[in-house]
Chains A and B, each alone.
Chain A
Amino acid sequence: MGERLLMKGNEVIAEAAIRAGCRHYFGYPITPQTEIAHYMAKKMPKVGGVFLQAESEVAAINMVYGAASAGKRVMTSSSSPGISLKQEGISYASGSQLPAVVVNIMRGGPGLGGIQPSQSDYFQATKGGGHGDYHMIVLAPSSVQELYELTVDAFNLADQYRMVAMILGDGVLGQMMEVVNFRDEEPIVETDKSWCACGHGMKREHNTITSIHLDPAVLEQWNINLQNKYKTICEKEQRYEIYKCDDAEIIIVAYGSVARIAKNVVQVAREEGIKVGLLRPITLWPFPVKAFEQVMDRAKAFLTVEMSSGQMLEDVMLAVNGRKPVYFTGRMGGMIPRVDDVMAKIKEIMAG
């Protein structure tokens, strides 16, 4: 058995990254994720790693671009406004097929918004916040234990598929403390990095990391290759949790910290005799459409709950594809949906 520690979500992300072999972290301070940087600043020098406070999020993501090009496991973290600034670098890294991990501990927007938890960057994360036809693998933990496990997985997936993997959390997850069971050893996946720009030592042809292909036929083929990779990921990497859906008539769809509230709702509803279950996407991209097939026959309706105006709702509607009604309830701006709010919505749906 490994260590069992009571830790804050943000610190667990940092610890998990180090355990996953990440020795390079570049970031710029922003609430509510700054503890990641604090932890890295303390720990990296002790493990022979690099912590660097960049002059901006733009610089930080480009430092990530450099370290990833050099073949290193590398991470940056930020919150919503800072993630907007990183979009240029994320697009370039996606185009150049560079593995990297980006953490977004979301806060309310748009603009400077607020510092309270939110899920309003779902579109930005899953639909390509930067320019071009690309995707990131987007992982949505809903507990501190999962922050740990999914951060380790994010590094493996990023390396395996040579792409950016994002941990999409919110201020609740980043700030809360829970017990984490650490493994003695991490399941680190070793991948071929012979493509990296690290100096050829006069032993091979020179390597080039680039995202530019001015010949449209070449660029189209490059895009086709990317899309084929994304197809494989959609087939192989969908993750989700199905909770008490066997007999459920109403299925809540929620991710991250909202899924925890939804579990309480399932409990309360069942005490009142209403059969409610939860479908919790763990990968937001690829969106777990397979999960919907498992619950579709029995379900009478789906209820999406988010801390946004209803962004994941669109993916739920696509997955359900008109077969059952889809409802939504949510809060915005840093307000958190309460069990009562969701129960009220469920009763409204039941009343027809």
Chain B
Amino acid sequence: MAVVFDRPHALVDIPMHYCPGCTHGIAHRLVAEALDELGIEGRTVGISSVGCSYNNYFYFNCDMIQAPHGRAPAVATGVKRSLPDSIVFTYQGDGDLAAIGTAEIVHAAARGENITVIFINNTIYGMTSGQMAPTTLLNQVTTTTPYGRDPKLHGNPIRVCEMLSTLKGPAYIERVSLHDIKHIKKAKEAVRKAFKVQMAGKGFSLVEILSTCPTNWGMNPLEALDRVKNEMIEYYPLGVFAGEDLEV
């Protein structure tokens, strides 16, 4: 019988710890599929960050390094500069990448560091139980914005793709979403392209993935997917922000 659907080799066969309805797991699968399909698992080094995905070194079958909060792009730089033929990716949440790690991501992008960044935007600090993230939408209630995010008090949400695309370093930047099958397929293409950009030595690539956190949003999984579709995409438009015409 022909196998039409299987676990990617790059994904370890153990249960994940993510909450029901969390899209971290889907994002992992997309990364693993890309490693399989491009045949690069053996020369890939992944960098886990600090957030709900802190221990995804258990899930990815490639060599993995756990980095301090926000520092994954600097750790990735150290690896890539040491092993130019390796494929290096970071997997970072929005608190990790856009708050504590802002300097590291901006400068890795500005240097055009030849790495791939998988950026999970769920508009919240998932792991530490639902505090405001730099990406939290206006009026969004979190445990540290109990009356909703007020721009006068808490500032405005950061659009990472738009901000980084003002730099010359990035070769490819795209924002995708995981709220339905069609968009998951597009997300898969983007992740694949990001790795191919790195394989071709073109420079910095980043895929921002709009993701759910049903637990800290106080929603069931379906409501959470609807929130991505109906609220998040409005502020975080999908599309390519750098490298639209890049052929790889």
Contacts and interface: CB of A to CB of B under 8 A. Distances in A.
Given A55-B103, A206-B62, A74 B78 contact: yes
A66 to B, nearest CB: 2
Given A66-B74, A210-B66, A50 B104 contact: no
Interface residues of A, number: 41
Chain B interface size band reads 35 or more
B79 A67 contact: yes
Contacts of A68: 78
B68 A62 contact: yes
Contacts of A198: 45, 63, 82-83, 86
A59 B83 contact: no
A212 B56 CA distance: 12
Given A198-B86, A200-B62, A63 B77 contact: yes
Given A62-B74, A206-B64, A209-B65, A200 B42 contact: yes
A72 B45 CA distance: 14
Contacts of B68: 62, 65, 88-89, 92
A66 B76 contact: yes
B43 interface: yes
A199 B83 contact: yes
Contact of A69 (B54, B71, B78): B78
Given A59-B104, A208-B66, A212-B55, A199 B74 contact: no
A203 interface: yes
A209 B83 CA distance: 16
Nearest to B12: A206
B229 interface: no
Contact of A210 (B41, B57, B87): B57
A31 interface: no
A203 B82 CA distance: 20
A313 B41 CA distance: 53
Contacts of B79: 66-67, 69-70, 197
Which interface residue of A62, A89, A202 has the most chain B CB atoms within 10 A? Answer: A62
B57 A67 contact: no
A341 B46 CA distance: 57
Nearest to B47: A66
Nearest to B43: A199
Q: Which of A54, A60, A201, A206 has the most CB of B within 10 A?
A: A206
Nearest to A59: B74
B71 A208 contact: no
Interface of A: 24, 26, 50, 52, 54-56, 58-60, 62-72, 74, 88-89, 92, 96, 196-203, 206-212
Given A65-B67, A207-B64, 20 more contacts: A52-B81, A54-B74, A55-B107, A59-B74, A62-B67, A62-B68, A62-B75, A65-B65, A66-B79, A67-B78, A69-B78, A70-B79, A70-B83, A88-B68, A198-B82, A198-B83, A202-B42, A206-B61, A209-B66, A210-B48
